């Protein structure tokens, strides 16, 4: 397996809102304005007038952490009730940015988030190449592919596996959620890279892991598939 590139990684924390509250009340609009300016976000959330629902998520997009003229792009920042998530090029970068943002919020507004963290979550997306192709590494899939090619002949459009996904069975009545807690329950997915010829054996993979761990686990999965 060859790792081609890391597309993005997300690092998130859940913290106790009771323990993290500053002694002096902070206006939401002041915090949003500060974060938007401090991290150069081109898209900033609009703060509604009046009372803000307790389950509101604020999303910033396309920003940067700048330290001593070194610019580190930030794909997205999400602030929710007792949660903060940062998406960047990989989870290591996202973690550094997240720590910086928490430090700023604690220092500038009197929060105590750094000492109130209860859980940390990660997700990552990377591009890899398998050699040989994924279906050729799993005998049962290779046999199934040959059956399809025999029973559904279509010259020029041969069958090949496009996607493998491993995940938990949805709970009855479960709805799609934007909770940071759901990061740990994301499916582990390996699918053909969009826009790439199948002959490249290039795949896009998503996992609820740090980028480095994602790469390690993919190698173990490849070894297991080869038997």
Mean pLDDT on 33-53 = 89
In a shared domain, residues 24 and 73: yes
8 A C-beta contact, residue 89 and residue 9: yes
pLDDT of residue 155: 86
In a shared domain, residues 213 and 176: yes
Question: Which residues lie closer than 8 Å to 38 by C-beta, 6 or more apart?
Answer: 104
Domain membership flag for residue 132: yes
In a shared domain, residues 14 and 117: yes
- Give the domain-ending residue among 121, 142, 166: 121
Structure confidence at residue 88 as a pLDDT band (50, 70, 90): very high
d(CA 147, CA 217): 30
Q: Helix, strand or coil for residue 22?
A: coil
Q: Helix, strand or coil for residue 188?
A: strand
| Greater model confidence, 223 or 227 | 223
- Give the domain-ending residue among 104, 121, 138: 121
In a shared domain, residues 117 and 133: no
Structure confidence at residue 76 as a pLDDT band (50, 70, 90): very high
Number of domains in the chain: 2
Computed on alpha carbons and rounded to an integer, the radius of gyration of the chain in Å comes to 22
d(CA 192, CA 128): 10
Domain membership flag for residue 1: no
> Using CB atoms within 10 A of its CB, is residue 198 exposed (0-12), middle (13-18) or buried (19+)?
middle
| Other residues' Cβ atoms within 10 Å of the Cβ of residue 38 | 16
Q: Quick one: which of 117, 127, 119 has its CA closest to 192?
A: 127
In a shared domain, residues 130 and 103: no
- Give the domain-ending residue among 121, 148, 183: 121
Distances in whole angstroms, Cα of residue 124 to Cα of each of 2, 11, 16, 43, 64: 16, 9, 25, 23, 19
In a shared domain, residues 114 and 134: no
d(CA 118, CA 10): 17
In a shared domain, residues 91 and 138: no
Q: What does DSSP say about strands 163-166 and 188-192: parallel, antiparallel, or unpaired?
A: antiparallel
- For 16-116, strand residue ranges (E) read 58-67, 70-80, 83-88
Domain membership flag for residue 2: no
Cα torsion 99, 103, 109, 113: sign: positive
Segment 155-214, tens digit of pLDDT: 888 888 889 999 887 777 655 555 787 888 899 999 999 999 888 999 999 999 999 999
Domain range spanning residue 109?
A: 10-121
Q: Does the predicted model carry a pTM greater than 0.95?
A: no
Q: Do you find a cis peptide bond into 132, omega within 30 degrees of 0?
A: yes
Q: How many residues comprise the chain?
A: 227
Segment 123-165, tens digit of pLDDT: 999 999 988 877 777 778 888 888 998 999 888 888 888 899 9
pLDDT of residue 20: 96
8 A C-beta contact, residue 83 and residue 14: yes
Does residue 227 have a pLDDT over 80?
no
pLDDT of residue 174: 56
Q: Tell me which residue has tokens 């430090």.
A: 103
Domain membership flag for residue 58: yes
Domain membership flag for residue 4: no
In a shared domain, residues 135 and 177: yes
Structure confidence at residue 14 as a pLDDT band (50, 70, 90): very high
Q: Helix, strand or coil for residue 39?
A: coil
In a shared domain, residues 143 and 112: no
In a shared domain, residues 60 and 74: yes
């Amino acid at each position: 397996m060859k790792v081609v590139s890391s597309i993005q990684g997300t690092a998130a924390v859940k913290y106790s809102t009771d323990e993290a509250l500053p002694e002096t009340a902070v206006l939401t609009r002041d915090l949003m304005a500060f974060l938007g300016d401090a991290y150069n976000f081109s898209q900033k959330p609009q703060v509604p007038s009046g009372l803000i629902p307790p389950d509101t998520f604020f999303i910033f997009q396309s920003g940067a952490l700048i330290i001593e003229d070194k610019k580190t792009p930030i794909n997205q920042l999400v602030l929710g009730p007792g949660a903060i998530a940062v998406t960047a090029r990989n989870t290591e970068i996202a973690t550094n940015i997240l720590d910086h943002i928490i430090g700023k919020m604690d220092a500038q507004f009197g929060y105590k988030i750094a000492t109130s963290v209860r859980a940390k979550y990660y997700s990552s997306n990377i591009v890899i190449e398998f050699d040989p192709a994924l279906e050729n590494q799993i005998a049962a899939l290779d046999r199934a592919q040959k059956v399809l090619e025999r029973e559904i002949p279509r010259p020029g459009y041969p069958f090949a596996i496009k996607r493998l996904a491993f995940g938990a069975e949805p709970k009855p009545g479960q709805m799609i959620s934007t909770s940071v807690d759901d990061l740990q329950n994301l499916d582990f997915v390996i699918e053909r890279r969009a826009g790439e010829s199948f002959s490249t054996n290039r795949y896009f993979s998503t996992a609820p892991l740090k980028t480095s761990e994602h790469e390690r686990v993919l190698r173990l999965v490849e070894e297991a598939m080869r038997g």
